[in-house]
Amino acid sequence: MPRKHVNGKAARPPAERDSKVCPVCGLPFSWRRKWERDWDNVRYCSDRCRAAAKRQEQQRPS
């Protein structure tokens, strides 16, 4: 089965995409096209985990 081309590039199947582990929930998450330009800065798997990280940061005593 030929790969589909996305923006002139051959699309990679999900098993070959980059992945990271979310520091809040500990679950792995894969590269998504909406993160294409900013993948290096993506840290959390979802908005929920990003909000939880901010709540944890605010609750820490200084």
Tokens of 40: 């290096």
Q: How many domains does the chain have?
A: 1
Name the burial class of residue 45, with classes exposed (0-12), middle (13-18) and buried (19+) by CB atoms within 10 angstroms of its CB: buried
pLDDT band at residue 50, thresholds of 50, 70 and 90?
very high
**Cβ atoms 16, 4 nearer than 8 A:** no
Per-residue pLDDT tens over the stretch 5-48: 666 667 777 777 889 999 999 999 998 888 889 999 999 999 99
C-alpha–C-alpha distance, residues 37 and 7, integer Å: 13
Please indicate, yes or no, if residue 40 is contained in any of the structural domains: yes
User: Is residue 1 pLDDT above 80, yes or no?
Assistant: no
Please indicate, yes or no, if residue 4 is contained in any of the structural domains: no
Please indicate, yes or no, if residue 45 is contained in any of the structural domains: yes
Q: What confidence score (pLDDT) does residue 15 get?
A: 74
Q: What confidence score (pLDDT) does residue 52 get?
A: 95
Structural domain including 24 reads 15-59
Please indicate, yes or no, if residue 31 is contained in any of the structural domains: yes
User: Could you give phi then psi for residue 47, rounded to 5 degrees?
Assistant: -65, -35
User: Is residue 54 pLDDT above 70, yes or no?
Assistant: yes
